[in-house]
Amino acid sequence: MSKNVITIIKKELRRFFTDRRMLVSLLLPGIIIFVLYSFMGNMTERMIGVEDDYIYQVVVINEPTELASFHQTAAFDIEVRYEASITDADLLLLEEKDIDLIIFYETDFYQKVLNYDINDGLAPKVELYYNSTKNESSNIYGFYNMAINNFEMTLANRLDINRDANIEYDLATEDDTSIQFITSLLPFLLLTFLFSGAMSVAAESIAGEKERGTFATLLITPTKKSEIALGKIIALSIITLVSAASSFTGLMLSLPKLMGGNVSMAMYGFGTYALLFIVIISTVLIYVVILSIISAYAKSIKEASSLAVPLMLVNMLVGISSMLGMANESLYMYFIPIYNSVQSITGILSLEIDMINLTITILINLLVVGLGVLGLTKMFNSEKIMFNK
C-alpha cells in the first residue's frame, strides 16, 4: 500500500478516534442497545415471572379426599386452607391479591362425577376463582385447571399421548433452538448496525469535508485521487467495524437478559467466527463504498444522510429475508451483493456452510468494492462533482 494511503488512513482514524464527541457517537449505540434490551428483558421477566420461593395461598371448599393429591403434585409450595363455604371475605382477599385461588367443589363432587351420565343434564361443577392481574394467581389457576381436566380425562381413558415423563419427546437440541433464534435475528441486526455505522462516518468524512472546503485542500496535494479513495474507504471501514462491534457487543451482552438465559453460543467455534468476519468485512466495504459515492455526490452531510435513507430501507428489507432462518440454496442468488451476504451469514450461523456460495459472495462483494473505488476515484477527479455549489 502506498505511503499516501497510509497517511490518509492514519489521519481519518485520528479524526474519529481522538475526538471525544465522535467516539461517543460511535460507541453510544452499543451502550443504548445494551441498556434498552436489558431493560426490556427485565420488564418481561417481571411481567411473567414468579419468585422461586413463593408460597401459593389456596382456599378449598368441599374437597373430595380423592383429589387432595393435586396439592402434592405441584412443583411449588402451596398452602391450603379448608373452608365450608365461599365467603365474601375470601373473595375480597382474592380481589386484593392477598390469596391466589379459591376452589369450590359441589358437595359429594367425586361420587357425582363417577355416577354422572351424559343424559343426566348438567355435569357436576367445580369453580375456580382467581385474579388474572396477579401472575401468581394466573399460574395457580392454570395449574389446577389442568389438573382437574386431566382428572376428567383419566375417567374415560382410551389412549395416552407422550405418557412417559422421563422421555424427551421434542428432539430439538438446545443448540438447535439457539441456532434457530440466532439465525432469525442476528443477520438482520448485523446488517442494520453495519449500515447505520457506515452511513454516519461516510457522510461525515466525505460530504462533510466537501461541505467545509477541506477536501479541496487534499485535492491540491500530489496525492492521487485513487489513493484518496482507497485511504478513505479503508479507514471508514475500520471505523464502521468498530462502531458495529460496539452495537454487537451491546446486543450479545443483553441477549441472555432478553431471552431469559436460554441462548447459548457454545456451538460456534473459531471457524464460524472467522468465516463470519470475512463476510462481514466484504459487506462493510460495500456499504462504505456505496455510501462514500453518495457522500461524494452530495453537497452536504444533510443531503448525504437523506439520500442514504431509501438505501437504509432497502437494506433492512434485505435483512428481513434472513428471518426465515434458512439460507437460500439457489446459486444465482449469491450473485446479488448484500443479499448474498445475508444468506451467507444465515448459512454460517446455521452451521450449514456452502463453500461455493460463500466464495461467490466474497468475490462478488469484492468486485463491487473494486468497481466502487474506481467510480469514487472518477468522482474525486470530476470538478463538477467536487465543486458543485
The C-alpha atoms of residue 125 and residue 113 are separated, in whole angstroms, by 9
Q: How far is the CB of 302 from another protein (least distance, A)?
A: 18
Q: How far is the CB of 237 from another protein (least distance, A)?
A: 20
Q: How far is the CB of 228 from another protein (least distance, A)?
A: 10
Name the residue nearer to another protein (CB basis): 16 or 334.
16
**Whether 192 contacts 25, CB under 8 Å:** no
Q: How far is the CB of 18 from another protein (least distance, A)?
A: 9
Name the residue nearer to another protein (CB basis): 90 or 227.
227
**Whether 326 contacts 346, CB under 8 Å:** yes
Name the residue nearer to another protein (CB basis): 222 or 269.
222
Tell whether the torsion through CA atoms of 14, 16, 22 and 26 is positive or negative.
negative
Name the residue nearer to another protein (CB basis): 184 or 223.
223
Q: How far is the CB of 217 from another protein (least distance, A)?
A: 4
**Whether 205 contacts 15, CB under 8 Å:** yes
Q: How far is the CB of 177 from another protein (least distance, A)?
A: 48
Name the residue nearer to another protein (CB basis): 20 or 46.
20
Q: How far is the CB of 370 from another protein (least distance, A)?
A: 22
Name the residue nearer to another protein (CB basis): 39 or 387.
387
Q: How far is the CB of 28 from another protein (least distance, A)?
A: 19
Q: How far is the CB of 226 from another protein (least distance, A)?
A: 10
Name the residue nearer to another protein (CB basis): 8 or 318.
8
Name the residue nearer to another protein (CB basis): 114 or 216.
216
Name the residue nearer to another protein (CB basis): 134 or 210.
210
Q: What is the 3-state secondary structure (H, E, C) of the chain?
A: CCHHHHHHHHHHHHHHHCCHHHHHHHHHHHHHHHHHHHHHHHHHHHHHCCCCCCEEEEEEECCCHHHCCHHHHCCCEEEEEEECCCCHHHHHHHHCCCCCEEEEECCCHHHHHHHCCHHHCCCCCEEEECCCCCHHHHHHHHHHHHHHHHHHHHHCCCCCCCCCCCCCCCCCCHHHHHHHHHHHHHHHHHHHHHHHHHHHHHHHHHHHHHHHCHHHHHHCCCCCHHHHHHHHHHHHHHHHHHHHHHHHHHHHHHHHHHHCCCCCCCCCCHHHHHHHHHHHHHHHHHHHHHHHHHHHHCCCHHHHHHHHHHHHHHHHHHHHHHHHCCCCCCHHHHHCCCHHHHHHHHHHHCCCCCHHHHHHHHHHHHHHHHHHHHHHHHHHHCHHHHCCC
Count Cα neighbours of 109 within 13 Å in the Cβ-side half-sphere: 19
Q: Which three cell numbers stand for residue 34?
A: 445494551
Name the residue nearer to another protein (CB basis): 13 or 80.
13
Q: Which residues bind another protein (CB under 8 A)?
A: 3-4, 7-8, 11, 14-15, 19, 209, 212-214, 216-224, 383, 387
Question: Left if phi > 0, otherwise alpha if psi is -120 to 50, otherwise beta: which for 352?
Answer: beta
Q: How far is the CB of 383 from another protein (least distance, A)?
A: 4
